[in-house]
């Protein structure tokens, strides 16, 4: 299945690990709040892309078993994973973008500076979890 990249909705405890995009010329959504992830490398699966990008961007090496949800939408794979809150101490900023932060999912959904379609995907994920 063709796709251009992947994103990981990564919970550390009850909060999300969020990135702030930089203002590099030509980058989509400069300065907006983002999830770890990025562009697919040749031959890479969606999950491999999301996990590789997460290591590159925040230094967290997740096992595939940590991923509990997936959805393909508009050419991007979205995944969700939940790790213990103490894994925040393992984050090593990779230098892409302006930085990282922890944020409750409800705050990301309500933020005007969060990438709009990512807000929608997160809202759908949260709604699906509350239906379980």
Domain ranges across the chain? 5-131
Q: Which among 33, 3, 7 is positioned nearest to 125, based on CA atoms? A: 7
C-alpha pair distances (Å), 40 with each of 95, 125, 130: 19, 22, 31
pTM, two decimals, is 0.95
Residue 85 corresponds to which tokens in the numbers above?
A: 């809150």
* Helix H or strand E encompassing 54: helix 46-58
Assigned CATH topology for domain 5-131: Nucleoside Triphosphate Pyrophosphohydrolase (3.90.79)
What are 20-66's pLDDT values in tens digits? 999 999 999 999 999 999 999 999 999 999 999 999 999 999 999 99
Label residues 42-52 b or e (16+ Cβ within 10 Å = b).
eebebbebbbb
């Amino acid at each position: 299945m063709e796709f251009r990249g992947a994103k990981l909705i990564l919970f550390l405890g009850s909060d999300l690990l969020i990135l702030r995009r930089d203002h590099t010329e030509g980058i989509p959504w400069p300065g907006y709040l983002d999830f770890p992830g990025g562009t697919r490398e040749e031959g890479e699966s969606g999950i491999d892309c999301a996990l590789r990008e997460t290591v590159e961007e925040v230094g967290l090496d997740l096992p595939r078993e940590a991923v509990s949800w997936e959805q393909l939408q508009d050419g991007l794979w979205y995944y969700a994973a939940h790790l213990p809150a103490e894994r925040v101490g393992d984050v090593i900023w990779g230098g892409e973008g302006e930085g990282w932060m922890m944020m409750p999912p409800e705050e990301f959904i309500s933020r005007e500076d969060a990438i709009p379609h990512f807000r929608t995907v997160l809202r759908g994920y949260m709604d699906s979890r509350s239906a379980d």
